[in-house]
Amino acid sequence: MASLDQGLSVPIAASAAGSLDRFDFVRKLEYFPSRVQAVLDRRLSDAISTVYLDVNTDICNHACPFCDGYYRQLKAAEIPWSRLETLVDEMKELGVLSLVIAGDRGEPFLHSKFRHLLVKLNASGIRYGIYTNGTCVKESYLEPLRGASFIRVSADAARPATHQKMHGYPASQHDFETVLRNVELLSALVPDLGVSFILDAPNVEEIDEAADAFLSRHARFIEYKPKYSPGYGVDSEWLRRHARMIRAQLDRAIARWGERVQLNPQIPRLLDGGEAPSLAVAPRFCRTSLLRLVISTHGCYTCTPYRGEAERRVGSILEQSLRDVVESAERRALDEHPCSRQCAYHRQNEYLLQLEAGTAAVPPRQTPGGPQDYFV
């Protein structure tokens, strides 16, 4: 066991560094100090930087039980093309830097006008990334997809039967072969294509096999993550029981593929027998969400952890302009409503609160290095 730990510790640190860099949302503020100042001044239309756009809801060819919409009551819908078209113009007018395209329990590639959206975004200059299951890529999407900054493919298996079980679709679909083929196809078009792999009972023996399957098809990286249950809990006990087997496979994958194997920062801690860190914190004000907005068919929300919750619903893009939602009284009122959740932007929020209190200084402007730097 000791030698196993030793063997794993160096590569884990190296691999986690690459992963963490993408999520260093404090550092990213150095590229956009004017947005930081806009947050501090509450100039909401000047602060909005990254939009999360669920182009559809409950329209998916898979039914993954780890999808964060799996347990919610949702009504199938998509944002009509006529609204998406004007929305891109409005994002450009407000100076939105980046867009993350996804679905709320929806597969974005199944939007009826997905190609139109890609073409429109490519002309707009707004950087965009896509979250997908990688199985619904039409031939006509390939050329416009060259404009994407990144694609993340949820894959979660190395064998067809496991993929079908993890993603909950009929065995007749043969989607694992499709995802393998599409990862190879899209990796040639979009340099930042990453595969995500949620650790769970059905796939626990396929960890290094999945790294081989996807990295040999030129995915830039594979990222292993714990499975979150509703309320963002993690089954630490299951991970502890299987730690030896998981470590051995991660060790083999890292030995073969180096930093292209990335670990969610919680994984090493959980495998070492630690508890998943609590996602509740002492209530504090939220400033970080002023940089972002989540847009879904059923409403707009401050941030992804509150997607679908009335508490932080701030308008409807089907009935209002983007500027009206961003400047809405509901969104401004949340300034005074503390939040006790710990999200991916917790450190960025702490930093913004320090700036507000005058205990830190607005960072000097740095030049963004790559497309990921625009996803603040």
Query: Which stretches of the chain bind ligand SF4, using CB under 6 A?
Result: 286, 288-289, 302-303, 305-306, 339, 341, 343, 345, 349
Closest CB 41 distance from ligand SF4, rounded Å: 19
Report the run of H or E that residue 314 belongs to, with start and end: strand 313-315
Residue 35, CB-side half-sphere exposure with 13 Å CA sphere:
25
User: Residue 15: which of 245, 217, 187, 220 has the closest Cα?
Assistant: 220
SS3 232: coil
CB nearer ligand SF4, residue 93 or residue 330? 330
DSSP codes of every residue in 1-28: -HHHHHHHHHHHHHHHHHHHHHT-HHHH
Sign of the dihedral through C-alpha 291, 294, 299, 302: negative
Closest CB 202 distance from ligand SF4, rounded Å: 30
CB nearer ligand SF4, residue 110 or residue 303? 303
E strands, 110-264, in order: 127-132, 150-154, 193-198, 221-225, 228-229, 233-234, 261-263
Q: What tokens were used for 336?
A: 């005074």
Closest CB 49 distance from ligand SF4, rounded Å: 13
CB nearer ligand SF4, residue 165 or residue 331? 331
Closest CB 345 distance from ligand SF4, rounded Å: 5
Closest CB 301 distance from ligand SF4, rounded Å: 9
CB nearer ligand SF4, residue 131 or residue 306? 306
Query: What type of residue is 215?
Result: L
Closest CB 281 distance from ligand SF4, rounded Å: 8
